C-alpha cells in the first residue's frame, strides 16, 4: 500500500509546488524568450532591416496570429468591444507598442543589447513609482518593508544613472567566440541611445499600469493581446510611412535573418510573451511582472560576452549590479507586504468568526 501511495503523494506534492510557482516559472520563461529577441534583432539590424518596418511587421504578425485563437477560445467569455473600449486599447497600443518599441530598438542600434537590458531593470522601480501615484501600491514608511521598497527604488535609479553617465573601460573577451556579428558604426551613439532607452523605460512602465486598468474592463487576455499587437503594429506602420519614403525598406528576404527575426519576435516575442505577461499581471500585479527583468539582463550579458564576443563596459557592470540590488530590495519589500496583508486578512476573519460565535451564544435561550 505504501509503495502505491508514495508515487501519488510525490505527484501531488509536485503539482502543488508547480501551482504555487506557476507565475514565477512563466515569467522566467518570458525572460529567456525575450533575451533571444535582443540578438536575433541586432543581427537583422546589422543586415539592414529598418527599425520602423521591423516593429510594424512584428506586431501586425503577432496580432494576426492571435486573432483566430482569441476568437475560438474566448468567444463565450469575451466582453463586447465598445467604441470607448476600442479607443482605450488604441491609446494603450500607442504607448506600449508604437512609442516604446520604436524608441527601444533605435536605442539598441545606438548602444548594445547588454546596455539596453541593464537599463531596462529600472522598469520595476518606475512601475512602482507610477503605481504609488495611482494608489495601486501602498508604502508604510514606518515599517521595514516600506523602507526597503523606497530604498530599493532609489538604489535602482542610482544604478541606471551610473550606466548612463559612466561608460568606463571595456573588458576584452579572453575566449574565442563561436558567433561573430558584424558591428555598425551607429553603435557608438551612446548619448542618443541612453536617452531613448530611458524614455522607453518610462513609457513601458506607464504601459504596465495602463494595461492593468484596461484588463479590469476587458478581461479577455488573448483578445486584448491580439488587439494591442495589431493596433500597435498598424500605428508603427503609419509612422514608418511618414518617416521612410523608400518603398524598398518594406521588402524582406524570404528565409533571411530579417525574415526569421520578424517571425520569431512576432510569434514568440510579441504574441506569446505579451499573453503570459498579461496573465501574470492580472494574477499578481504589474510590479511582480517587472521584477523578473534582472534575469533577462544576466542571460543577455552571458550570451553577449561568451557567445557573441560583445565588449562589456565596467560602467554597465557596476550600474547593472547596483540596479539589481535595488530591484531585489524592492522585491523583498513587496513580498513582505503581501505576507502582511494576508496575515491581516486572516486576523480579520478570526475576529469576525469570534464575534459571530459570541453573538450566537448570547442569542441562545
Number of residues that this document lists for the chain = 365
Q: Determine the pLDDT at residue 326.
A: 84
- Report helix, strand and coil shares of the chain as percent, to nearest 5: 80, 0, 20
Element spanning 312, H or E: strand 312-313
Whether the CB-CB separation of 49 and 182 falls below 8 Å is answered with: no
The pLDDT tens digits of the residues spanning 141-190 come to 778 878 888 888 888 888 877 876 777 787 776 655 555 555 554 455 77
The pLDDT tens digits of the residues spanning 30-89 come to 998 988 888 888 888 888 888 889 999 999 998 998 899 888 888 888 888 899 999 999
Contacts of 349 (CB under 8 A, 6+ apart): none
Q: Determine the pLDDT at residue 56.
A: 92
Q: What is the mean pLDDT of residues 264-276?
A: 85
Q: Determine the pLDDT at residue 211.
A: 86
Q: Determine the pLDDT at residue 186.
A: 47
Residue 172: helix, strand or coil by DSSP? coil
- Out of 59-68, 193-202, 210-219, 323-332, pick the least confident: 323-332
% residues pLDDT > 90 (the chain): 12
Q: Characterize 144-173 residue by residue with b for buried, 16 or more Cβ atoms within 10 angstroms of its Cβ, and e for exposed.
A: ebbebbbebbebbbebbebbbeebeeeeee
**Residue 307, burial from CB neighbour count under 10 angstroms (0-12, 13-18, 19+):** middle
Whether the CB-CB separation of 31 and 292 falls below 8 Å is answered with: yes
The pLDDT tens digits of the residues spanning 92-115 come to 999 988 999 899 888 888 877 777
Band of residue 301 on the pLDDT scale cut at 50, 70, 90: confident
Task: Sketch the domain layout of the chain as residue ranges.
Answer: 27-334
Band of residue 238 on the pLDDT scale cut at 50, 70, 90: very high
The pLDDT tens digits of the residues spanning 5-30 come to 555 565 566 566 667 788 889 998 99
Q: Phi/psi of residue 139, each to 5°? A: -120, 120
Q: Phi/psi of residue 291, each to 5°? A: -70, -15
Q: Determine the pLDDT at residue 348.
A: 60
Q: What is the mean pLDDT of residues 195-219?
A: 88
Looking at the predicted structure, is the pLDDT value of residue 305 above 70?
yes
Whole-Å CA distances, 54 to 34, 61, 135, 213, 238: 16, 11, 36, 29, 13
Query: How does the average pLDDT of the chain come out, rounded?
Result: 79
- Out of 178-187, 334-343, 351-360, pick the least confident: 178-187
Whether the CB-CB separation of 314 and 137 falls below 8 Å is answered with: no
Amino acid at each position: 500500500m505504501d509503495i502505491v501511495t508514495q508515487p501519488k503523494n510525490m505527484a501531488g506534492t509536485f503539482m502543488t509546488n508547480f501551482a504555487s510557482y506557476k507565475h514565477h516559472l512563466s515569467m522566467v520563461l518570458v525572460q529567456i524568450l525575450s533575451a533571444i529577441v535582443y540578438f536575433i534583432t541586432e543581427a537583422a539590424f546589422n543586415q539592414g532591416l529598418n527599425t520602423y518596418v521591423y516593429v510594424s511587421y512584428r506586431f501586425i504578425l503577432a496580432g494576426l496570429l492571435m486573432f483566430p485563437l482569441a476568437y475560438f477560445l474566448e468567444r463565450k467569455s469575451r466582453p463586447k468591444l465598445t467604441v470607448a473600449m476600442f479607443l482605450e486599447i488604441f491609446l494603450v497600443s500607442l504607448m506600449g507598442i508604437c512609442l516604446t518599441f520604436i524608441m527601444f530598438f533605435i536605442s539598441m542600434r545606438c548602444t548594445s543589447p547588454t546596455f539596453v537590458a541593464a537599463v531596462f531593470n529600472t522598469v520595476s522601480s518606475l512601475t512602482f513609482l507610477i503605481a504609488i501615484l495611482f494608489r495601486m501600491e501602498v508604502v508604510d514608511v514606518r515599517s521595514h518593508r516600506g523602507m526597503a521598497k523606497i530604498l530599493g527604488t532609489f538604489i535602482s535609479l542610482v544604478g541606471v544613472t551610473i550606466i548612463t553617465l559612466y561608460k568606463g573601460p571595456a573588458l576584452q573577451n579572453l575566449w574565442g567566440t563561436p558567433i561573430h556579428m558584424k558591428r555598425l558604426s551607429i553603435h557608438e551613439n551612446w548619448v542618443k541611445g541612453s536617452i531613448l532607452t530611458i524614455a522607453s523605460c518610462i513609457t513601458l512602465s506607464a504601459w504596465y499600469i495602463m494595461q492593468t486598468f484596461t484588463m479590469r474592463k476587458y478581461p479577455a487576455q488573448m483578445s486584448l493581446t491580439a488587439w494591442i499587437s495589431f493596433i500597435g503594429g498598424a500605428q508603427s506602420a503609419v509612422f514608418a510611412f511618414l518617416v521612410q519614403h523608400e518603398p524598398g525598406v518594406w521588402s524582406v528576404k524570404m528565409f533571411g535573418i530579417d525574415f526569421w527575426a520578424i517571425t520569431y519576435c512576432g510569434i514568440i516575442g510579441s504574441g506569446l510573451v505579451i499573453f503570459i505577461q498579461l496573465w501574470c499581471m492580472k494574477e499578481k500585479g504589474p510590479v511582480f511582472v517587472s521584477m523578473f527583468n534582472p534575469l533577462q539582463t544576466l542571460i543577455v550579458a552571458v550570451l553577449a560576452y561568451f557567445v557573441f564576443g560583445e565588449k562589456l563596459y565596467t560602467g554597465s557592470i557596476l550600474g547593472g549590479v547596483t540596479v539589481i540590488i535595488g530591484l531585489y530590495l524592492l522585491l523583498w519589500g513587496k513580498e513582505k507586504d503581501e505576507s502582511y496583508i494576508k496575515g491581516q486578512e486572516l486576523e480579520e476573519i478570526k475576529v469576525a468568526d469570534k464575534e459571530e460565535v459570541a453573538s450566537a451564544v448570547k442569542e441562545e435561550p
